[in-house]
Structure 1
Amino acid sequence: MAVSLLLSATYSFRAITKPGFTGPDPTHRHRDSPVTHASCNIQCGPTRTCATPVARGDCAPLHVHAALLPARSSGPETLTVVTAEHTAATGATSANRATARIREFLDRNPLPTPCLVVDLGSVADRYRALARDFAGYRVQYAVKANPSPAVLRALAAEGAHFDVASPAEIESCLHAGANPATLSYGNTIKKPGDIATAFAAGVRDFTVEAASDLDNVAEHAPGAEISVRLLVNADGAATPFGRKFGCDADTAIALLKRAARAGLDPKGVSFHVGSQHNDPAAWDGAMAAAAPVFAAAARTGIPLRALNVGGGIGTDYRGRAPEPATYAKAITEAVRTHVHDLPAELVIEPGRAIVAEAGLIRTEVVLVSRKSTMDSERWVYLDVGRYNGLAETENEAIAYRIEPVGSPGEATGERVIIAGPTCDGDDVLYQRTPYHLPLSLRAGDQLDILATGAYTASYSSVAFNGIPPLRTYCISEGRLISVE
């Protein structure tokens, strides 16, 4: 069995064979914190380090991480070295450069399925593009979309700010090199201990929607900056938030006054129109709801300086979403219409729009069946499903593009129902949404699920049915950077 692993960026590629190679160096183990082996170009995950130091000579060129090996073998192993020159020479085979790069990596380096591969170059490119389109806004990455340490490191290096929802996300961002001043604790549901932990870590920006939470912030984060989250009605999002988050305008005004009396810094208002919202006009209605809060706060001597317009910028799945520049124009016009003077601090909070198109899930077909000889639709069961990576297929809200490996473009053929691998009746991905896959599709064939960099691995259950969470592989310039 050949195990492929990206090892260098020299200007050729070759096979290196070590007779009798049986897997990783037995002296290499992982424990608690990240370590980089310069010679093998692999970054350990956030909770692992080497218990025994490995010399450069032991690490290169045949150092392999156990996570990359589908199974242990007693025979010779071949390691394919894929290089920068080879990657450039082959060129992009798809309009989506990230998808093309990931597919080329997987062609040269087959990985156990299911796997999520994220191209870090695309993550950085998307961040830069959004920062350009939303000039004058602070681009604050929603960590929950994909908290991979490698993704956070890439964004911290770009100067991104981060929307965090827990002490664990704060720790991840700081570990990735983020300055605590760039972190905003946007979750309005938090324990007093969580607030104290965040404040001790240097976080000074908090969002609230209730008096009790505000009082906890005053006690455990004295002097902190406060934004109040508004409840807005914005129908049309693929994944709406309902009434879970936010408060009405009267409550928001009362909270801002309460914050000032408590010695906090009431700085602004936030809202969110729902995730994957393909209508930029949705922000106009939200701004109409926010405008009275700005006006009332000014009348009471609390001039607000900050407005967080949330996330929700759409991503291309099977259907196309508007361009980010279209959102930027519509949102800015809505702010000007309803608030007139732009607040000094404008914040946009994308998650999906930064990481979704940077990721691809490769999955294997486990079973193809018909329920009866009269049934016109086949059931196609994959090794990835709602419990180990595709939670957003609930209610078929997100319709991913699914393509057979080796055949770019959505397949033609017979209509199919697509399901996951667990013994749970809800683990059906697409039954109403029409998908077609080739009649020749068999167990063991592989499919690519595109634009899956957001809300996939981060939504995976720990081990439902004993099936492990979706593993994430991050690559940069054709090289493997991390395995998580």
Structure 2
Amino acid sequence: MGSPLLEEDLPVQWPGRLRPERLLGLAFQTPYLAGDVTVVAERLVEFRAAMGGIEPYYSVKANPAPEVISTLSGLGIGFQAGSLSELKMLTDNGVEGNRVLFGNPVRTGPHLRAAAAAGVWRMAFDSASELRRIADHAPGACVYLQVQVNEETNRPFGAHPSQARALMTLARDLGLVPYGLAFHLGAQQSSPAAWFPALGLIGQVMSELLEDGVGLAMLGLGGGFPARYAEEVAPIARFGTSLRAAVDELLPYRPDNLVCEPGRFLVAESGVMVTTVLDRSRRGDAEWLVLDAGVHQGLTGQDRFPVATSLPDPPRVSKRLFSLAGPTCDASDVIARDVPLPEPISPGDLVMFGTAGAYTVCRAAGYNGFGRPKVFFV
């Protein structure tokens, strides 16, 4: 292998403690995900400064690694769990149940009882049947309604805004506390103004609830705050400024607890996936590299990852466009096409994917017998 790409050539979002030359020195068997919790802590500081009084609750599904949970817990953050398994990950790492939002709006009775026993007192819902389950298995709980704010209505979760009034009053009638509303716009939002239409709808719902004597203690603004992949994104400070302006302009009042659920923003840029080239071949018009990890090991291709290799980078060598595939020989296992990499790259060289700390290993399926990459933290 040649000398690795130099630090000044790396994308700005590449973790300094996971430079290619350092990863080469680790000599771990690939594929693996290397993580740096100092980046997670730095992103939380940046996020809090941008959001002002909007409190973050980390969305555990983005990266449930114990090192991530412990780091964020030590910094006093809350958490959003989507399942009893995620809640157990949190409590096993010392997180008290009263710091957790139980965000999945459909659960079994035993899971609701276990969550309540663990100290969870805020639970999402989006239907009358779920409200009745909560009333039976976690009586007296504070409940918040997940509202569908996107134009697409054929979705399995989230109540239509027109249902909110009846559902929140039913919660009160069942002996539960109608605590709040919540919504989610979707992942990797590119525009800081994206929350304005949703908050306009939420403001109307809040006004209607006031007519029934229901005031909200909490409003959940969801996640969707973007991480930097190969393309630049708007600074998080612009999202905070826009959100606060939308809250002040579009809501009839400001609930005491304004919360959001960042996941990707906090952890994506903390991780680097390290893979080895297994094969190089020409197929039709494309030059292909087969790697020992692919879509089924978490490199989903939904975002263009910044890439480095164990070879020198221009101006020292020329580049060529490659298509990258995983090891399963499955048609779906294509990571990306037309990726510029050093022309001499060959089997045995490393390909490293930055911004890989979110939704990679936690989604790896072990398909075709290829297991999940191991995870190491520095």
TM-score band, normalised by shorter chain: over 0.9
Pairing 1:284-299 to 2, within 5 Å after superposition: 284-299=196-211
CA-CA distance at 1:105 after TM superposition: 3.9
| Structure 1 residue aligned with 2:3 | none
Which one scores higher on RCO, CA 8 angstroms, separation ≥ 6?
Answer: 2
> Is the contact between residue 315 and residue 321 of structure 1 (CA under 8 Å) also seen in structure 2?
yes
Q: Which residue of 318, 321, 324 corresponds with 2:233? A: 321
**In structure 1, what is the equivalent of residue 294 of structure 2?**
385
- Distance (whole Å) between structure 1 residues aligned to residue 270 and residue 128 of structure 2: 40
1:26-425 aligned within 5 A: 96=12, 99-103=15-19, 105-233=22-150, 243-371=155-283, 375-391=284-300, 393=301, 397-407=302-312, 413-425=319-331
Aligned sequence identity (%): 31
Runs of 4+ in 1 over 3 A off after TM superposition: 90-98, 406-412
1: distance between equivalents of 2:154 and 2:68? 29
Partner of 1:73: none
Partners of 2:232 and 2:295 lie apart in 1 by: 23
Residue 124 of structure 1, CA deviation: 1.1
Q: Aligned partners of 2:144 and 2:242: how far apart in 1?
A: 23
Q: 1:210 & 1:416 partners in 2: Cα distance?
A: 48
Per-residue CA distance 1:87-123 (angstroms, 9 max, x = gap): xxx9988574762201254233111111101101111
Q: CA deviation at 1:398?
A: 1.0
Which SS does the other structure have where 1:281 is aligned? helix
Tell me the secondary structure at the aligned position of residue 64 of structure 2. Answer: coil
| More helix per residue | 2
Q: Matched residue of 1:347: which SS?
A: strand
Instruction: Name which of 413, 426, 433 aligns with 2:332.
Output: 426
Any unmatched runs of 5+ in structure 2? 1-5
Task: Report the secondary structure of 1:444's partner residue.
Answer: coil
CA–CA separation in structure 1 for the residues paired with 2:213 and 2:279? 66
> Do 1:140 and 1:350's aligned partners in 2 also have CA atoms closer than 8 Å?
yes
Cα deviation code 1:126-159 (max 9, x no counterpart): 1121112112111100000000011101110000
The residue matched to 2:245 in structure 1 has which SS? helix
Alignment coverage as a number of residue pairs: 371
Contact 2:217–2:255, Cα closer than 8 Å, also in 1: yes
**Residue 295 of structure 2: SS of its match in structure 1?**
coil
Residue 167 of structure 1: how far off its partner (Å): 1.0
Question: Rg: which structure is higher?
Answer: 1
SS in 2 for 1:465: helix
* CA 406–120 in structure 1, closer or farther in 2 if over 3 Å, else same: farther
- Tell me the amino acid that sits aligned with residue 361 of structure 1: M
Q: Residues 91 and 413 from structure 1, CA distance in 2 versus in 1: closer, same or farther, beyond 3 angstroms? A: closer
CA distance in 2, matches of 1:412, 1:330: 43
Post-superposition shift, 1:200?
A: 1.1
Q: Report SS of the residue matched to 2:296.
A: coil
Distance in 2 of aligned mates of 1:470 and 1:110:
15
1:208-233: CA deviation from partner (whole Å, max 9, x where unpaired): 11111111111111111111011111
Give the C-alpha shift of residue 242 in structure 1.
7.1
Give the whole-Å Cα distance in 1 for the aligned partners of 2:279 and 2:350: 12
In structure 2, the residue corresponding to 1:447 is in which secondary structure?
A: strand
Q: 3-state DSSP class of the match of 2:214? A: coil
Amino acid in the other structure paired with 1:450? G
Query: Are the structure 2 counterparts of residues 297 and 408 from structure 1 closer, same or farther at C-alpha, using a change threshold of 3 Å?
Result: farther
Instruction: Give the conservation status (yes or no) of the 8 Å contact 2:33–2:273.
Output: yes
Paired position in structure 1 for 2:372:
469
Displacement of 1:295: 0.5
> In 2, are the aligned partners of 1:377 and 1:414 still within 8 Å (CA)?
no
